[in-house]
Chains A and B, each alone.
Chain A
Amino acid sequence: MNKLSWFIWHELKISLRNAGDTAVIVMFFLLIALLFPMGIGSSAALLTRIAPGVIWVAAILTAMLSLDSIFASDFEDGSLEQIVISPTPLILIVTAKFTAHWLITGLPLIFAVPIIGLIYDIPIKVFSLLLISMGIGTPILSLIGGLGAALVLGARRGGVLLALIVLPLLVPVLIFGTAAADAVFLGFSPKPPLLLLSAMLLAALAIAPSITTLAIRRALE
Chain B
Amino acid sequence: MDCFISFPKLKCFTLKNFLRRWSSPDPKRSVIIISMEFNGKNILCKRGEKEVFSGLSIKLVPGEIIELHGPNGIGKTSLLRLISGISKPTHGTFYWSDGTVSEYPERHFSRITLIGSADALKPMLTVEENLYDWTWLNRPRPERSTIISALRVFGIDALADTPVRFLSAGQKRRLTLSRLLTVETNLWLLDEPTIALDSEAVSLLKKLLVKHCESGGMAVIATNNDMQIQNTRKVNLLSYARSRQHE
Contacts and interface: CB of A to CB of B under 8 A. Distances in A.
Q: Check if A and B associate.
A: yes
Interface of A: 1-7, 10, 13-14, 17-18, 76-79, 81-89, 92, 220-221
A3 B24 contact: yes
B153 interface: no
B156 interface: no
Nearest to A87: B110
Interface stretch (B34-42, B80-88, B206-214, B230-238): B80-88
18 contacts: A6-B141, A13-B125, A14-B122, A18-B124, A77-B121, A81-B116, A81-B118, A82-B114, A82-B116, A82-B120, A82-B137, A85-B85, A85-B112, A88-B137, A89-B22, A89-B106, A92-B22, A221-B86
B87 A77 contact: no
A17 B114 CA distance: 27
Interface of B: 20, 22-25, 30, 84-88, 106, 109-110, 112, 114, 116-122, 124-125, 129, 133-134, 136-139, 141
Name the prevailing secondary structure of the B interface residues. loop
Given A3-B23, A87-B109, A77 B122 contact: yes
Nearest to A4: B23
Closest 5 CB pairs of A and B: A78-B118, A17-B124, A78-B120, A4-B23, A2-B24
Contacts of A89: 22, 25, 106
Nearest to B20: A2
Nearest to A82: B120
Nearest to B113: A85
A86 B111 CA distance: 10
A161 B23 CA distance: 33
Contacts of A2: 20, 23-24
B86 A220 contact: yes
A221 B89 CA distance: 10
Contacts of A6: 136, 141
Nearest to B120: A78
A18 B22 CA distance: 30
Nearest to A84: B86
Contacts of A83: 137
A50 B117 CA distance: 52
A87 B138 contact: yes
Contacts of B30: 87
Given A14-B125, A77-B120, 5 more contacts: A13-B129, A78-B119, A81-B116, A82-B134, A87-B25
B33 to A, nearest CB: 17
A3 B125 contact: no
Nearest to A9: B133
Contact of A81 (B88, B114, B141): B114
Contacts of A82: 114, 116, 120, 134, 137
A89 B86 CA distance: 14
